[in-house]
Each structure stands twice: as C-alpha cells, then as structure tokens.
Amino acid sequence: MSERLVVNPIDCKAHGACAELLPEMITLDEWGYPIVDPRPVPPSLERDARKAVNACPTLALRRLRTDDR
C-alpha cells in the first residue's frame, strides 16, 4: 500500500520541521512554506515520512493512502 504526503495549507504555519526531516521530498519556498513532492512515498523513505508527519507542530502534514483519491 503506497501513500503520499499532503499539506493542509490553512493549518501550515511554516515551522519547517518537515523539510528538515524529509529533505528528499520536501523543500521550502522563499517564505518558508513546504513544497511537497506529490508522488507516492518510496518505501525507503517511509520511516522519515512518518517522522516528518509526527513532527509537524500544527498537524498540517498528513499521510494519505494513494487510493484515497
């Protein structure tokens, strides 16, 4: 079961923890807001992705199962 990452842009307050924990998939724009790779999370990054989701102070970063949409 593959999953992807989505940001709730209303909840996101640009803390930037996600980009530090998962730089392979998340970069920050010039205002500090995350730009998330829309592709499914590869198995090798699943651990880090989970860490990034858990580290988000505003719970804006979420994991979605790819078949959700």
Partner 1 sequence: MTAATAGAFHDGASRAAAPSDLPRLLPPVQGGKRPQDLAAHLARHGDLPYRDRIGTPASPGALIGVIEQSGLTGRGGAAFPVHRKLNAVLEAADRRRRTPVVIANGAESEPASDKDATLLWLAPHLVLDGLQLAAEALGADTAILVTHADRKHDVAGRVRQALQERLSLRLDRVPVQLAVAPARFLSGQETALVNHLGGGPSIPTFMPPRITERGLNGNPTLVQNVETLAHLALIARRGPRWFREVGTAAEPGSMLATIRRADGQPRISEVPLGQPLRYLLGDPQQTTPESAVLVGGYHGTWLPAAQAAGLTLDNRALERVGARVGAGIVISLPPDRCGLVETARVVRYLALESAGQCGPCLNGLPRIAAALVELATGRPRPQTVEDLQRWSGLVTGRGACHHPDGTARFVRSALVTFAAEADRHARGRCSAASTAPFLPIPAAAAQTEDDWT
User: Which residues, 26 to 55, sit near partner 1 by CB under 8 A?
Assistant: 29-33, 35
The distance of closest approach from Cβ of residue 64 to partner 1 in the complex, given in angstroms and rounded to an integer, is 9
Amino acid at 42: P
CB of 47 to partner 1, least distance (A): 25
CA distance 64 to 66: 6
65 binds partner 1 (CB under 8 A): no
| Pairwise CA distance, residues 22 & 13, whole Å | 17
For partner 1, the binding residue among 11, 20, 24, 46 (CB under 8 A) is 11
Q: What's the CA gap between 43 and 34, in Å, rounded?
A: 21
